[in-house]
């Protein structure tokens, strides 16, 4: 619901937020059931910075991203191999975002 003219989000008097949350710009629509996150971007981020879990953070999988970060730190960098392999698998097989929707090509 969009607030009446002259008011901004959260200023409806009741203190509640009455503006829609947006994850995709209104001018760019993806097919129903497909994520707004790209598997190519997620895969490249995971290959380059997978030891820090960046590709997983990008798609919204924060739990796995944090685990990858901790494993890399605990193993003095050897755990980054997991991120490299994970990035390759994302590029080859695709994946899903935090809402369970398949990543777009």
Q: Is the pLDDT higher at 16 or at 46? A: 46
pTM: 0.69
pLDDT at 2 over 80: no
**Separation of alpha carbons 44 and 55, rounded Å:** 8
Buried b (16+ CB within 10 A) or exposed e, 86-100: bbeebbeeebebeee
Given this model, what pLDDT does residue 33 score? Answer: 85
């Amino acid at each position: 619901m969009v607030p009446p003219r002259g008011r901004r989000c959260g200023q409806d008097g009741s203190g509640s937020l009455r503006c829609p949350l947006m994850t995709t710009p209104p001018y760019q629509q993806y097919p129903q059931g497909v994520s707004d996150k790209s598997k190519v971007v997620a895969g490249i981020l995971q290959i380059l910075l997978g030891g820090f879990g960046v590709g997983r953070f990008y798609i919204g999988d924060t739990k796995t991203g944090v685990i990858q970060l901790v494993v890399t730190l605990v193993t003095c960098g050897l755990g980054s191999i997991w991120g490299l392999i994970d990035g390759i698998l994302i590029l080859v097989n695709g994946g899903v975002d935090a809402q369970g929707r398949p990543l777009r090509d």
